[in-house]
Amino acid sequence: MAFPHTNSAPQFNLNAPGLAHDPHWYRKAVFYEVLVQSFADANEDGAGDFSGLISRLDYLQWLGIDCLWLPPFFDSPQLDGGYDVRDFTAVMETYGTILDFKSLVTQAHERGMRIIIDLPINHTSDQHPWFKASREHPDGPFGDYYMWSDTTDLYQDARVIFVDTEESNWTFDPIRRQFFWHRFFGHQPDLNFANPAVRDAIFNVVRFWMEQGIDGFRADAIPYLFAEDGTNCENLPPTHQFLQDLRAMVDAEFPGRVIIAEANQMPHEVVDYFGTEENPECHMAFHFPIMPRLYYALRDQKAAPIVETMANTPSIPRGAQWGTFLRNHDELTLEMVTPSEREAMLGWYAPDSRMRANIGIRRRLAPLLDNSRAEIELINALLLALPGSPFLYYGDEIGMGDNIWLDDRDASRTPMQWNPDRNAGFSNADPGKLFLPVVQSLVYHYNHVNVEAQTAHTSSLLHWNKQILKVRKAHPAFGLGRYDNVETSHESVLAFLRVLPVGNAEGEAPEIILCVFNLSQHPSAATLNLPGLAGRGLRDVFGGDIFPGIDDGGHLTLTLGSYDFFWLRVRSQSSNALSTQTQALPVIDGSEFGY
């Protein structure tokens, strides 16, 4: 789909009024995951830093980002992209200082953008002073900070997550001469949450970062905090109790800050991480099951996998929100699909074994979709229309490529491509000094895939992304509205309504948006069944054009081109009754939905 062309040159010097008070900001926000190391290098040491990121905030504001998510930037041996923390309250020297971080927060806030960080609290690096003390002094104050055992007999029902590198969740420590428990790498011992001193220490880590002004944090690897023999050691009741206590502390001491659960679990298990209205846990949780099904549906050219996953998604407490995503810093995980779906997806999306990692695919969005602009647009439009706040991954807005010749998940953590200059404008350092090489592949070379080139022409993917984010922002139904599936006559055509009725708690304008997607590579015509909306008019939210309305029998027939989509605002009156001139937005009472 093409947008009407806008101004040719972007204005990067917009001045946002600062953060408006909005307790539900995270339910409408567009998040952007940015790896400090990968974004912009100001001090020319070959790795990105806070000052570099600050210098690019105007770009992110221009793009329409509401909140940045920063994966761990703490002091770390960097054996797991910083998720192996050596000191929770110090930042990597190469990224700058705590003062630089605070400056980042202030400058983001001045532009109306928020900052959430990532707290990997389940484990630490084996270089953490707590672990060093624990292995050296079993009877000392840190002796019980980790999970030690003389044998590997306990917790045999817990799966190994990093199957590519780990054979067991137990590793023998030659210093303490005992085994320690770890759900991830053998250099990442799990903290012992059964020890109240550990829980207190983690509360203090959270307090420390809240005091630096962050707007919330992602609770990394949260299902694994507690272990219990005879279970799979995931989602256990004491883990939920800990999260309730954590939330109560955050609400009491830092009201308005949010917690986001990273729980790669089935829908009925993820939903528990929201807690209840009486005993809340996280404000948000990533929707892991829908992500792979978007990719599956695209190659299968059928709407059913998406319709079914949404039908199996339990409702969430008031004030909670899903986090949705297409890609992130990890492999595209296939844990939430069936074995046969997984086989099909590996065949479609990872034909070369180098593209695979653990139970997933280590590729970026554009290469996954073979750089098909139509499919990239379609899957983004799906992400932005489905329930949940979208989390974009840096570089995907310009269709960056990956480098499968790099190890593990580094394949898609390469430097951001800003321009066609040395190191893609990421750094002035000697190219050999970069923490990872810039992408120079035939199709995705930074010579042509870069921000500067894409800002220079308005039909670029970057401008397209900016425009669709702007349109989404203008329609609160996408963030706050209910999701209602719409029956269609064509198996490739997915349709649903986003319904924000009158009297919604947020006081936003009422609206109903009809979203229709053609998942087929061929044109498709479909009749939609909209019994509650018989006779209503329709208006395209992008160009504002009036569309033929829904007939008196509640049917609408639409023809969509290959991978085409529509977002149509449902009007309160019939299309015949309205002229095509500018109209005040109709008031929709939503009474047919029981409101």
Tokens of 63: 């793009």
Q: How many CB atoms lie within 10 A of CB 15?
A: 10
Beta strands at 74-75 and 87-91: parallel, antiparallel or unpaired: antiparallel
Least distance from C-beta 237 to ligand GLC, angstroms? 22
Among residues 242, 7, 289, the alpha carbon closest in space to that of 121 is found at 242
Residue 80 near ligand GLC by CB under 6 A: yes
Residue 81 near ligand GLC by CB under 6 A: yes
- Give the number of residues written for the chain: 595
AA letter at 108: A
Q: Which residue has the tokens 């109240």?
A: 196
Edge-to-edge strand ranges of the sheet holding 538-540: 546-547, 538-540, 565-570, 511-518, 493-500, 482-488, 524-529, 555-560
Q: Which is nearer to ligand GLC, 260 or 514 (CB)?
A: 260
Least distance from C-beta 471 to ligand GLC, angstroms? 30
Least distance from C-beta 38 to ligand GLC, angstroms? 13
Among residues 239, 258, 231, the alpha carbon closest in space to that of 247 is found at 258
Instruction: List active site positions.
Output: 220, 262
Q: Which residue of this chain has its Cβ atom nearest to ligand GLC in the complex? A: 83
For ligand GLC, which stretch binds (CB under 6 A), given 79-87, 199-207, 249-257, 421-429?
Answer: 79-87
Residue 331 near ligand GLC by CB under 6 A: no
Residue 184 near ligand GLC by CB under 6 A: yes
Residue 82 near ligand GLC by CB under 6 A: no
Least distance from C-beta 220 to ligand GLC, angstroms? 5
Least distance from C-beta 84 to ligand GLC, angstroms? 7
Q: Which is nearer to ligand GLC, 145 or 224 (CB)?
A: 224
Residue 361 near ligand GLC by CB under 6 A: no
Per-residue binding string, ligand GLC, 118-137, x by CB under 6 A, is: --x-----------------
Residue 179 near ligand GLC by CB under 6 A: no
Q: Answer yes or no: are the C-beta atoms of 472 and 542 closer than 8 Å.
A: no
Least distance from C-beta 221 to ligand GLC, angstroms? 4
For ligand GLC, which stretch binds (CB under 6 A), given 30-38, 76-84, 102-110, 386-394?
Answer: 76-84
For ligand GLC, which stretch binds (CB under 6 A), given 75-83, 100-108, 307-315, 350-358?
Answer: 75-83
Beta strands at 493-500 and 511-518: parallel, antiparallel or unpaired: antiparallel
Query: Sign of the CA dihedral 159, 163, 167, 171?
Result: negative
Least distance from C-beta 401 to ligand GLC, angstroms? 20
Q: How many CB atoms lie within 10 A of CB 447?
A: 13
SS3 275: strand
Residue 330 near ligand GLC by CB under 6 A: yes
d(CA 562, CA 358): 33
SS3 426: coil
For ligand GLC, which stretch binds (CB under 6 A), given 77-85, 314-322, 413-421, 529-537?
Answer: 77-85
Count residues near ligand GLC (CB under 6 A): 10
Q: Where are the beta strands (DSSP E) in 4-82?
A: 31-33, 67-70, 74-75
Q: Which is nearer to ligand GLC, 120 or 415 (CB)?
A: 120
Q: Answer yes or no: are the C-beta atoms of 130 and 239 closer than 8 Å.
A: no
Per-residue binding string, ligand GLC, 274-313, x by CB under 6 A, is: ----------------------------------------
Q: Which residue has the tokens 């309160």?
A: 572
Q: Which is nearer to ligand GLC, 30 or 263 (CB)?
A: 263
Q: Which is nearer to ligand GLC, 120 or 387 (CB)?
A: 120
Q: Answer yes or no: are the C-beta atoms of 286 and 243 closer than 8 Å.
A: no
Residue 220 near ligand GLC by CB under 6 A: yes
Q: How many CB atoms lie within 10 A of CB 84?
A: 24
Q: Answer yes or no: are the C-beta atoms of 569 and 522 closer than 8 Å.
A: no
Least distance from C-beta 189 to ligand GLC, angstroms? 11
Q: Which is nearer to ligand GLC, 262 or 300 (CB)?
A: 262
Among residues 524, 532, 567, the alpha carbon closest in space to that of 550 is found at 532
SS3 472: helix
Q: Which is nearer to ligand GLC, 81 or 186 (CB)?
A: 81
Residue 186 near ligand GLC by CB under 6 A: no
Among residues 331, 349, 366, the alpha carbon closest in space to that of 443 is found at 366
d(CA 54, CA 111): 11
Per-residue binding string, ligand GLC, 83-102, x by CB under 6 A, is: x-------------------
Residue 221 near ligand GLC by CB under 6 A: yes
Among residues 392, 379, 219, 204, the alpha carbon closest in space to that of 290 is found at 379
Residues that bind ligand GLC (CB under 6 A): 80-81, 83, 120, 184, 188, 220-221, 329-330
